[in-house]
A = this chain, B = another copy of it.
Amino acid sequence: MAVTKKHSKKRDAILREMLATTRHPGAQWVHERLKARIPDLSLGTVYRNIGLFVQEGLLRPLGVINGEERFDAHVEPHPHRVCISCGRIEDVPCPNEALLKRLHGKNAGGPGGFQIDFRKTVFYGVCPHCSDQGT
């Protein structure tokens, strides 16, 4: 069942903006981006709605990069790569798919009683753009 009760243009705009990009945006980026079209959109509303989307499973939190939580609208579990220079996040195309699948089992976390719900794999490195800059 949905957490959301009523319909709202701003809520729609926030979700659509996040679905339409591959940037794995944070709240601030979404807000700044939408302000152009919706000048009276408040940052608080962006945060509140992102929170709801996450609860509904429409968005997946990726983790904090440079102090800001980032989100992915493509909710099927998959690894990411993060540029430690500029914070860019990309989906990892086809990362040893078979191997990763074998790591997905309930017991992948090893013994000790943890009930593993999900896994996150992140590769950290420098993206092409940043390595061109000579850092």
Judged by a CB distance under 8 angstroms, whether A1 is at the interface is: no
Q: Are B92 and A110 in contact (CB under 8 A)?
A: yes
A124 nearest CB across to chain B (Å) = 5
A112 touches which of B90, B109, B110, B115 (Cβ 8 Å): B90
Interface residue? A58 (CB, 8 A): no
Contacts A63-B64, A64-B63, A95-B109; is A114 near B100 (CB within 8 Å)? Answer: no
A19 within 8 A of B: no
> Which of A6-14, A25-33, A38-46, A126-134 lies at the binding interface?
A126-134
Residues of B within 8 A of A120 (CB): 120-122, 124
Question: What B residues does A125 contact at CB under 8 A?
Answer: 109, 114-118
Interface contact B110-A127, CB-CB below 8 Å: no
For A88-119 the 0/1 string (1 means CB < 8 A from B) is 00101111100110110000111111111111
A67-85 interface (Cβ within 8 A of B): 81, 83-84
